[in-house]
Structure 1
Protein backbone atom coordinates (compact mmCIF):
# COMPACT_ATOMS: atom_id res chain seq x y z
CA UNK A 1 0.00 0.00 0.00
CA UNK A 2 1.60 3.26 -1.13
CA UNK A 3 1.21 6.46 0.78
CA UNK A 4 2.20 9.71 -0.90
CA UNK A 5 4.77 8.00 -3.05
CA UNK A 6 6.39 5.90 -0.32
CA UNK A 7 6.13 2.22 0.31
CA UNK A 8 5.93 2.48 4.08
CA UNK A 9 3.48 4.12 6.48
CA UNK A 10 6.12 5.79 8.62
CA UNK A 11 7.32 5.18 12.12
CA UNK A 12 5.42 6.39 15.21
CA UNK A 13 8.14 8.99 15.80
CA UNK A 14 7.59 10.43 12.31
CA UNK A 15 3.86 10.62 12.98
CA UNK A 16 4.43 12.46 16.26
CA UNK A 17 6.84 14.89 14.66
CA UNK A 18 4.38 15.54 11.85
CA UNK A 19 1.57 16.61 14.26
CA UNK A 20 3.68 18.20 17.02
CA UNK A 21 3.58 21.78 15.63
CA UNK A 22 -0.20 21.70 15.26
CA UNK A 23 -0.63 20.26 18.75
CA UNK A 24 1.66 22.92 20.23
CA UNK A 25 -0.27 25.71 18.49
CA UNK A 26 -3.59 24.32 19.71
CA UNK A 27 -2.27 24.03 23.27
CA UNK A 28 -1.08 27.63 23.19
CA UNK A 29 -4.45 28.81 21.89
CA UNK A 30 -6.29 26.99 24.68
CA UNK A 31 -3.94 28.37 27.33
CA UNK A 32 -4.38 31.96 26.13
CA UNK A 33 -8.16 31.73 25.88
CA UNK A 34 -8.38 30.17 29.34
CA UNK A 35 -6.32 33.01 30.84
CA UNK A 36 -8.62 35.64 29.30
CA UNK A 37 -11.58 34.19 31.19
CA UNK A 38 -9.86 34.53 34.53
CA UNK A 39 -8.65 38.08 33.88
CA UNK A 40 -10.97 39.63 36.48
CA UNK A 41 -8.98 38.16 39.38
CA UNK A 42 -5.57 39.23 38.19
CA UNK A 43 -3.55 42.27 39.15
CA UNK A 44 -3.90 45.27 36.83
CA UNK A 45 -1.10 46.70 34.74
CA UNK A 46 0.95 49.13 36.89
CA UNK A 47 0.47 51.89 34.29
CA UNK A 48 -3.29 51.41 34.55
CA UNK A 49 -3.08 51.67 38.35
CA UNK A 50 -1.29 55.02 37.99
CA UNK A 51 -3.97 56.26 35.60
CA UNK A 52 -6.74 55.01 37.91
CA UNK A 53 -5.28 56.97 40.82
CA UNK A 54 -5.07 60.05 38.58
CA UNK A 55 -8.75 59.57 37.70
CA UNK A 56 -9.69 59.09 41.35
CA UNK A 57 -7.94 62.37 42.21
CA UNK A 58 -9.87 64.13 39.44
CA UNK A 59 -13.16 62.70 40.75
CA UNK A 60 -12.27 63.89 44.27
CA UNK A 61 -11.60 67.35 42.81
CA UNK A 62 -15.08 67.26 41.20
CA UNK A 63 -13.68 67.05 37.67
CA UNK A 64 -15.44 64.05 36.10
CA UNK A 65 -14.26 64.87 32.56
CA UNK A 66 -10.59 64.68 33.58
CA UNK A 67 -11.41 61.49 35.50
CA UNK A 68 -13.04 60.01 32.40
CA UNK A 69 -9.96 60.84 30.35
CA UNK A 70 -7.69 59.10 32.87
CA UNK A 71 -9.99 56.08 33.16
CA UNK A 72 -10.26 55.72 29.39
CA UNK A 73 -6.48 55.82 29.15
CA UNK A 74 -6.31 53.12 31.83
CA UNK A 75 -8.78 51.04 29.84
CA UNK A 76 -6.60 51.42 26.75
CA UNK A 77 -3.58 50.22 28.74
CA UNK A 78 -5.38 47.30 30.39
CA UNK A 79 -8.67 46.54 28.59
CA UNK A 80 -9.27 43.28 30.48
CA UNK A 81 -9.31 44.88 33.96
CA UNK A 82 -13.03 45.10 34.79
CA UNK A 83 -12.87 47.61 37.71
CA UNK A 84 -11.93 50.31 35.20
CA UNK A 85 -15.42 49.97 33.71
CA UNK A 86 -16.94 50.67 37.13
CA UNK A 87 -14.84 53.81 37.47
CA UNK A 88 -15.91 54.96 34.00
CA UNK A 89 -19.54 54.37 34.95
CA UNK A 90 -19.16 56.46 38.12
CA UNK A 91 -17.63 59.31 36.12
CA UNK A 92 -20.44 59.10 33.55
CA UNK A 93 -23.05 59.28 36.33
CA UNK A 94 -21.28 62.33 37.77
CA UNK A 95 -21.79 64.01 34.39
CA UNK A 96 -25.48 62.96 34.31
CA UNK A 97 -24.81 60.48 31.51
CA UNK A 98 -26.76 57.60 33.01
CA UNK A 99 -27.21 55.80 29.69
CA UNK A 100 -23.46 55.68 29.20
CA UNK A 101 -22.99 54.55 32.80
CA UNK A 102 -25.52 51.74 32.34
CA UNK A 103 -23.58 50.59 29.27
CA UNK A 104 -20.35 50.40 31.30
CA UNK A 105 -22.09 48.55 34.14
CA UNK A 106 -23.58 46.05 31.71
CA UNK A 107 -20.21 45.44 30.07
CA UNK A 108 -18.78 44.76 33.53
CA UNK A 109 -21.64 42.32 34.19
CA UNK A 110 -20.99 40.52 30.91
CA UNK A 111 -17.40 39.98 32.06
CA UNK A 112 -18.36 39.14 35.64
CA UNK A 113 -22.06 38.29 36.14
CA UNK A 114 -21.63 38.18 39.93
CA UNK A 115 -20.20 41.70 40.23
CA UNK A 116 -22.37 43.18 42.98
CA UNK A 117 -20.95 46.70 42.58
CA UNK A 118 -21.95 46.68 38.89
CA UNK A 119 -25.45 45.42 39.74
CA UNK A 120 -25.94 48.10 42.38
CA UNK A 121 -24.47 50.87 40.24
CA UNK A 122 -26.62 49.88 37.30
CA UNK A 123 -29.67 49.93 39.56
CA UNK A 124 -28.83 53.42 40.79
CA UNK A 125 -28.24 54.67 37.24
CA UNK A 126 -31.55 53.14 36.14
CA UNK A 127 -33.28 54.88 39.04
CA UNK A 128 -31.65 58.19 38.11
CA UNK A 129 -33.03 57.68 34.61
CA UNK A 130 -36.50 57.04 36.02
CA UNK A 131 -36.61 53.27 35.42
CA UNK A 132 -37.77 52.42 38.94
CA UNK A 133 -39.05 48.91 38.17
CA UNK A 134 -35.80 47.89 36.51
CA UNK A 135 -33.89 49.26 39.51
CA UNK A 136 -36.13 47.17 41.79
CA UNK A 137 -35.27 44.08 39.74
CA UNK A 138 -31.60 44.78 40.34
CA UNK A 139 -32.32 45.10 44.07
CA UNK A 140 -34.17 41.76 44.11
CA UNK A 141 -31.27 40.12 42.29
CA UNK A 142 -28.78 41.59 44.74
CA UNK A 143 -30.88 40.48 47.71
CA UNK A 144 -31.00 36.92 46.43
CA UNK A 145 -27.31 36.73 45.53
CA UNK A 146 -25.64 38.97 48.09
CA UNK A 147 -28.10 39.18 50.97
CA UNK A 148 -29.77 42.00 52.88
CA UNK A 149 -26.63 43.03 54.78
CA UNK A 150 -24.46 43.39 51.69
CA UNK A 151 -23.19 46.98 51.18
CA UNK A 152 -24.28 47.04 47.56
CA UNK A 153 -27.78 45.84 48.45
CA UNK A 154 -28.12 48.45 51.17
CA UNK A 155 -26.86 51.23 48.92
CA UNK A 156 -29.39 50.43 46.20
CA UNK A 157 -32.20 49.99 48.75
CA UNK A 158 -31.50 53.46 50.20
CA UNK A 159 -31.47 54.97 46.71
CA UNK A 160 -34.82 53.33 45.95
CA UNK A 161 -36.29 54.65 49.20
CA UNK A 162 -35.30 58.19 48.16
CA UNK A 163 -36.86 57.58 44.77
CA UNK A 164 -35.93 59.09 41.43
CA UNK A 165 -34.65 62.66 41.64
CA UNK A 166 -36.42 65.29 39.59
CA UNK A 167 -34.36 66.70 36.79
CA UNK A 168 -33.53 70.38 36.95
CA UNK A 169 -34.37 72.23 33.76
CA UNK A 170 -32.20 75.03 32.48
CA UNK A 171 -33.57 78.25 31.06
CA UNK A 172 -32.33 77.23 27.61
CA UNK A 173 -34.47 74.10 27.73
CA UNK A 174 -37.60 76.21 28.22
CA UNK A 175 -37.05 78.67 25.35
CA UNK A 176 -39.88 78.69 22.81
CA UNK A 177 -39.23 77.34 19.34
CA UNK A 178 -38.18 79.96 16.86
CA UNK A 179 -40.67 80.74 14.14
CA UNK A 180 -39.32 81.19 10.64
CA UNK A 181 -41.26 83.68 8.54
CA UNK A 182 -41.19 83.41 4.79
CA UNK A 183 -40.41 86.65 2.88
Structure 2
Protein backbone atom coordinates (compact mmCIF):
# COMPACT_ATOMS: atom_id res chain seq x y z
CA UNK A 1 0.00 0.00 0.00
CA UNK A 2 2.94 2.35 0.57
CA UNK A 3 3.75 2.33 -3.08
CA UNK A 4 0.19 2.85 -4.32
CA UNK A 5 0.38 6.68 -4.45
CA UNK A 6 3.73 6.57 -6.24
CA UNK A 7 2.46 3.97 -8.68
CA UNK A 8 -0.67 6.01 -9.32
CA UNK A 9 1.34 9.16 -10.02
CA UNK A 10 3.71 7.32 -12.32
CA UNK A 11 0.85 5.69 -14.22
CA UNK A 12 -0.93 9.04 -14.60
CA UNK A 13 2.24 10.61 -15.95
CA UNK A 14 2.73 7.80 -18.45
CA UNK A 15 -0.92 7.87 -19.43
CA UNK A 16 -0.98 11.61 -19.94
CA UNK A 17 2.23 11.72 -21.91
CA UNK A 18 1.16 8.82 -24.13
CA UNK A 19 -2.16 10.41 -25.02
CA UNK A 20 -0.75 13.90 -25.20
CA UNK A 21 1.82 12.97 -27.79
CA UNK A 22 -0.65 11.06 -29.91
CA UNK A 23 -3.52 13.52 -29.56
CA UNK A 24 -1.73 16.70 -30.48
CA UNK A 25 -0.62 17.42 -34.01
CA UNK A 26 0.34 21.00 -33.15
CA UNK A 27 3.99 21.60 -32.45
CA UNK A 28 4.25 23.52 -29.17
CA UNK A 29 6.29 26.65 -28.69
CA UNK A 30 9.75 25.54 -27.43
CA UNK A 31 9.52 28.01 -24.53
CA UNK A 32 6.26 26.37 -23.44
CA UNK A 33 7.90 22.94 -23.61
CA UNK A 34 10.66 24.08 -21.25
CA UNK A 35 8.11 25.53 -18.83
CA UNK A 36 6.04 22.33 -18.94
CA UNK A 37 9.10 20.21 -18.21
CA UNK A 38 10.03 22.46 -15.28
CA UNK A 39 6.43 22.24 -14.05
CA UNK A 40 6.51 18.45 -14.23
CA UNK A 41 9.71 18.42 -12.17
CA UNK A 42 8.15 20.76 -9.60
CA UNK A 43 5.07 18.54 -9.42
CA UNK A 44 7.23 15.44 -8.99
CA UNK A 45 8.98 17.21 -6.10
CA UNK A 46 5.65 18.01 -4.44
CA UNK A 47 5.62 21.72 -5.29
CA UNK A 48 2.10 21.90 -6.67
CA UNK A 49 1.82 25.68 -6.56
CA UNK A 50 5.17 26.09 -8.29
CA UNK A 51 4.05 23.59 -10.93
CA UNK A 52 0.76 25.42 -11.45
CA UNK A 53 2.64 28.70 -11.88
CA UNK A 54 4.93 27.14 -14.49
CA UNK A 55 2.05 25.50 -16.36
CA UNK A 56 0.14 28.78 -16.39
CA UNK A 57 3.23 30.51 -17.75
CA UNK A 58 3.43 27.85 -20.46
CA UNK A 59 -0.22 28.50 -21.28
CA UNK A 60 0.50 32.23 -21.57
CA UNK A 61 3.31 31.45 -24.02
CA UNK A 62 1.29 28.96 -26.09
CA UNK A 63 -2.47 29.09 -25.36
CA UNK A 64 -3.26 26.86 -28.35
CA UNK A 65 -1.33 23.89 -26.92
CA UNK A 66 -4.08 21.73 -25.40
CA UNK A 67 -1.89 19.33 -23.35
CA UNK A 68 -1.11 22.16 -20.94
CA UNK A 69 -4.66 21.71 -19.63
CA UNK A 70 -3.84 18.12 -18.71
CA UNK A 71 -0.83 19.29 -16.73
CA UNK A 72 -2.86 21.98 -14.98
CA UNK A 73 -5.55 19.41 -14.17
CA UNK A 74 -3.04 16.99 -12.66
CA UNK A 75 -1.54 19.74 -10.50
CA UNK A 76 -5.00 20.82 -9.35
CA UNK A 77 -5.88 17.23 -8.42
CA UNK A 78 -2.70 16.90 -6.39
CA UNK A 79 -3.61 20.14 -4.65
CA UNK A 80 -7.01 18.66 -3.73
CA UNK A 81 -8.91 20.87 -6.19
CA UNK A 82 -10.82 18.19 -8.08
CA UNK A 83 -13.49 20.64 -9.29
CA UNK A 84 -10.86 22.83 -10.87
CA UNK A 85 -9.17 19.77 -12.35
CA UNK A 86 -12.45 18.67 -13.91
CA UNK A 87 -12.81 22.11 -15.49
CA UNK A 88 -9.32 21.79 -17.01
CA UNK A 89 -10.07 18.29 -18.31
CA UNK A 90 -13.30 19.53 -19.87
CA UNK A 91 -11.47 22.37 -21.61
CA UNK A 92 -9.03 19.83 -23.03
CA UNK A 93 -12.00 17.73 -24.16
CA UNK A 94 -13.63 20.77 -25.79
CA UNK A 95 -10.50 21.16 -27.87
CA UNK A 96 -9.87 17.43 -28.42
CA UNK A 97 -13.03 15.39 -27.68
CA UNK A 98 -11.32 12.00 -27.97
CA UNK A 99 -8.32 12.74 -25.74
CA UNK A 100 -7.96 9.53 -23.75
CA UNK A 101 -5.92 11.11 -20.96
CA UNK A 102 -8.51 13.86 -20.46
CA UNK A 103 -11.40 11.38 -20.36
CA UNK A 104 -9.56 9.16 -17.90
CA UNK A 105 -8.31 12.04 -15.76
CA UNK A 106 -11.76 13.58 -15.56
CA UNK A 107 -13.15 10.19 -14.52
CA UNK A 108 -10.53 9.83 -11.80
CA UNK A 109 -11.22 13.34 -10.50
CA UNK A 110 -14.94 12.51 -10.47
CA UNK A 111 -14.26 9.43 -8.33
CA UNK A 112 -12.17 11.57 -5.99
CA UNK A 113 -15.22 13.83 -5.59
CA UNK A 114 -17.47 10.83 -4.97
CA UNK A 115 -19.23 10.90 -8.37
CA UNK A 116 -18.55 7.26 -9.19
CA UNK A 117 -21.58 6.92 -11.47
CA UNK A 118 -20.38 9.78 -13.68
CA UNK A 119 -16.90 8.26 -13.71
CA UNK A 120 -18.46 5.01 -14.96
CA UNK A 121 -19.74 6.93 -17.99
CA UNK A 122 -16.19 8.09 -18.73
CA UNK A 123 -15.05 4.48 -18.41
CA UNK A 124 -17.70 3.33 -20.89
CA UNK A 125 -16.63 6.04 -23.32
CA UNK A 126 -12.98 5.06 -23.01
CA UNK A 127 -13.78 1.40 -23.54
CA UNK A 128 -15.65 2.25 -26.73
CA UNK A 129 -12.84 4.49 -28.00
CA UNK A 130 -9.69 2.58 -27.14
CA UNK A 131 -10.78 -0.76 -25.70
CA UNK A 132 -10.56 -2.40 -22.30
CA UNK A 133 -6.80 -2.87 -22.38
CA UNK A 134 -5.58 0.62 -23.20
CA UNK A 135 -3.63 2.25 -20.32
CA UNK A 136 -6.17 5.03 -19.81
CA UNK A 137 -9.06 2.59 -19.47
CA UNK A 138 -7.12 0.41 -17.06
CA UNK A 139 -6.10 3.41 -14.92
CA UNK A 140 -9.70 4.58 -14.64
CA UNK A 141 -10.92 1.05 -13.87
CA UNK A 142 -8.42 0.84 -11.01
CA UNK A 143 -9.46 4.23 -9.62
CA UNK A 144 -13.15 3.33 -9.75
CA UNK A 145 -12.44 -0.01 -8.06
CA UNK A 146 -10.56 1.80 -5.28
CA UNK A 147 -13.55 4.08 -4.75
CA UNK A 148 -13.66 7.57 -3.29
CA UNK A 149 -11.01 8.58 -0.75
CA UNK A 150 -11.64 7.48 2.85
CA UNK A 151 -12.03 11.09 4.03
CA UNK A 152 -14.93 11.51 1.61
CA UNK A 153 -16.65 8.43 3.02
CA UNK A 154 -16.27 9.83 6.56
CA UNK A 155 -17.67 13.21 5.49
CA UNK A 156 -20.65 11.50 3.84
CA UNK A 157 -21.40 9.51 7.01
CA UNK A 158 -21.13 12.65 9.12
CA UNK A 159 -23.44 14.60 6.81
CA UNK A 160 -26.13 11.90 6.79
CA UNK A 161 -25.99 11.51 10.57
CA UNK A 162 -25.36 7.79 10.45
CA UNK A 163 -23.61 6.33 13.44
CA UNK A 164 -21.78 3.73 11.43
CA UNK A 165 -18.09 3.44 12.21
CA UNK A 166 -15.86 4.06 9.23
CA UNK A 167 -12.43 2.46 9.31
CA UNK A 168 -9.43 3.43 7.27
* Structure with the bigger percentage of helix: 2
- 1:107 Cα deviation from its structure 2 partner: 0.2
| Residue segments in structure 2 that go unaligned for 5+ positions in a row | 1-22, 155-168
4+ runs deviating over 4 angstroms: none
TM-superposed deviation, 1:43: 1.0
Equivalent pairs counted in the alignment come to: 131
Distance of 1:96 and 1:69 partners within structure 2: 16
What's 1:24 paired with?
none
Instruction: Write the mapping of 1:1-183 to structure 2, written as runs, cut at 5 A.
Output: 40-167=24-151
Task: Give the Å deviation of 1:166.
Answer: 2.1
Rg comparison, structure with higher value: 1
The normalised TM-score by structure 2 is: 0.76
1:60-81: CA deviation from partner (whole Å, max 9, x where unpaired): 1111100000000000000010
Paired residue secondary structure (1:157): helix
**Larger relative contact order (C-alpha < 8 A, sep ≥ 6)?**
2
Structure 1, unpaired ranges of 5+: 1-38, 170-183
Aligned CA-pair RMSD: 1.4
Work out the CA distance in 2 between the residues paired with 1:128 and 1:42.
Answer: 31
The CA deviation at 1:42 is: 1.3
TM-score by length of 1: 0.69
Secondary structure at the aligned position of 2:117 is classed as: helix
